[in-house]
Amino acid sequence: MNNENSKFNFALKKASYRDVEDCFRAFNRAYPTEDDCMVALIEAAAFDANSGRLESSGTSLYSCRACGRDDVEKINRGRAVKCLSCGKKTWLTAGTFFEKIRAARPYLACIWFLSHGISVSSETFHLLIGVAQSTAWNIARKVSMVLEDRLMNIESVVPAVEFYPAIRKRSIDTPARQSPKIDLTANDSDASLSFPDNRSQFTTDLNIGAHEASVLSVLSQVPAHVDEIAQACNIPVHQVLSAMTMLELEGLVQRLPGERYVSTVSKSRPANFIERTPEVVSLIGTFIEFFDDVYIGISGRYLQSYVARAWVLALNRLWPLKRLISLISSSGPLKMAQILETAPRTEIGLFLLLPYQHP
């Protein structure tokens, strides 16, 4: 990468059991109780993520928002304060990412691991923290989606299909009896994926044969009959049908009535496409290897969120705990319905901008 970002050492690897245990013990020493965790979230949320300094509001963090007096008492397990003068109640987490969370400890632990560069799967996290695995997954997904929204540079992208080898898990929208990889291509008809012009790269990157690569190279979003495809590729019809079966399993083509086929991808290249240099290929390979080691494959639906999370893990020294909490808190509350509405991206932003602006 021909920019100042390359001066940072991108270190991304699976954490060992000892690393996870040591990090978790440090977390328990720093925040032994639920109250300690809630105070940490509330106070860190009041810091400016860019400057690392407490935002100036003119009043104390725990003062009454109605009259400004400091004679208040904490209520609702530290989530709110009640003014002893005017009796008004102020919810300290209102309007933040942590609004209405059931417990502060799991959220703080999730962010703690990220800020220390420790990768933890939902299976491991739920055992450590003592929450259901579905809860562990939801917390990690919400945090990752905020990181995606706040940190990823959508102006520099690569095709989502570059991450095909890592896509092994189905999402709720994956069509029945279809490969999980179809999540990267089963999108709106206006969406497009960007492929390098060299057809041979299909063979090496997507693990498809020469016939499949040849067939895919002549397909487009315009339906084509199998006979036309065979003639264009100069291969027998039965070999075209065999290739189509493999491509359908990979989610790269769609069968239409009358033995007609369309490609689910387009070969156009957007202006913000990052050139497929050896350095970029190596970087994507690092992501794929990490996703396999830690998560045993991922869903294409949340690919961009996984990439954003991996960036923070790799460059965690740029994100101290308070700064990361502040960034996440400032996004506002995130509901489960927003996670379920997430659509697969056909282009994946790779490079962070915001962390590199910090000293």
Each residue of 256-284: b (16+ CB within 10 Å) or e? eeeeebbbbbbbeeeeebbebeeeeeebb
CATH architecture of 172-263: Orthogonal Bundle (1.10)
The pLDDT score that the predictor gives to residue 124 is 92
Helices (H), the chain: 17-30, 34-45, 104-115, 122-129, 133-151, 200-205, 210-218, 226-233, 237-249, 278-295, 303-314, 321-329, 336-340
Query: For residues 321 and 112, is the Cβ–Cβ distance under 8 A?
Result: yes
Position 90 scores a pLDDT of 73
Count CB-CB contacts under 10 A for residue 243.
24
β-pairing verdict for 167-169 and 298-299: parallel
The domain ranges of the chain are: 58-93, 172-263
- The three-state secondary structure class of 332 is coil
- pLDDT score recorded for residue 319: 86
pLDDT tens for the chain, 359 residues: list them. Answer: 334 444 445 678 888 999 999 999 999 999 999 989 988 998 887 765 454 454 444 456 667 666 767 777 777 766 777 777 787 777 777 788 998 888 999 999 999 999 999 999 899 999 999 999 999 999 999 999 999 888 776 667 887 878 888 888 887 777 777 777 777 765 543 333 333 333 334 433 455 677 787 888 778 767 888 898 888 888 898 888 888 888 888 777 888 888 888 877 655 555 567 777 777 888 888 899 999 999 988 988 889 999 999 989 988 888 899 999 998 988 888 877 777 777 777 788 876 433 444 33
User: What pTM, to 2 d.p., does this model score?
Assistant: 0.72
pLDDT at 265: 65
Task: Enter the DSSP assignment of 347.
Answer: E
Looking at residue 174, its pLDDT comes to 75
